[in-house]
Structure 1
Amino acid sequence: MRVNLENPNTHQLKQVKVGFSWTTFFFGFWPALFRGDWKWFGIQLVIEIFLGCFTYGIGAGIVGIVFSFFYNKLYINDLLKSGYVPSDKASEDILLNKGITVANK
């Protein structure tokens, strides 16, 4: 399920997936890098390196699995905090149903 978020200042539109992140599940921290989400890229990378060093790499895989359950929600919350708003009523309803607080336009 995807939602459309728009920045009212720049009119930039982003279509973001809501729910489980299959890309994070399979590729770990790389989806955050390609989205330009530097904060969560750095956090995931540091955790994966730290846990991977002490567990022969198994810990890095586990971090990717754990983050895949909530990374999309973290990314959406960061976009909303930076000024993005749902561009349509359907997107707003989806976010509210998933427990993501949406500020008024």
Structure 2
Amino acid sequence: MVNIENPVTNQVKQCKVGWSWTVFFFGFFPMLFRQDWKWLLITLVVDLLGLFTFGIVSFIANVILAVLYNKFYLTDLVNAGWRPVDEASKNLLLAKGIALPVE
């Protein structure tokens, strides 16, 4: 888990890094609850395409997304201006390949 903060609003979020069990089991609902509209739309489009393949494409895409979604979500937050709260969170983000802007 990493702790990140929005320096403008002082809102702090605790986000998981790595495999997303919630995306694996619940599909697009975590994106809906996090108000992550970009990935919600992408997931819904892929799931709709899965209808034409009897769900095979949708299942494969959801497994891949479960592996990558938390990294995508954290990268989007960092690009939107969120910053790690502590040194441990900063080191974990860097270890997972999430580039932080130079301060």
TM-score (norm 2): 0.94
CA shift, 1:76, in A, is 0.3
| Corresponding residue SS for 1:70 | helix
CA shift, 1:71, in A, is 0.5
Aligned equivalent of 1:87? 85
Counting matched residue pairs gives: 103
In 1: Cα distance, 2:64 partner to 2:71 partner = 13
What are structure 2's unaligned runs of at least 5 residues? Answer: none
Aligned equivalent of 2:17? 18
In 1: Cα distance, 2:48 partner to 2:67 partner = 20
| Corresponding residue SS for 1:40 | helix
CA shift, 1:53, in A, is 1.7
What are structure 1's unaligned runs of at least 5 residues? Answer: none
CA shift, 1:92, in A, is 0.2
Q: Residue deviations 1:78-103, cap 9 Å, x none?
A: 00011100011110011111111112
Aligned equivalent of 2:98? 100
> Would you say the 8 A contact 1:28–1:61 is kept in 2?
no
RMSD value, Cα? 1.1
CA shift, 1:58, in A, is 2.8
% identical equivalent positions: 51
> Would you say the 8 A contact 1:26–1:64 is kept in 2?
no
CA shift, 1:59, in A, is 2.2
TM-score (norm 1): 0.92
Aligned equivalent of 1:73? 71
Amino acid at match of 2:15: V
Aligned equivalent of 2:46? 47
CA shift, 1:6, in A, is 0.1
In 2: Cα distance, 1:6 partner to 1:103 partner = 14
- Structure 1: 4+ residue segments shifted above 6 A: none
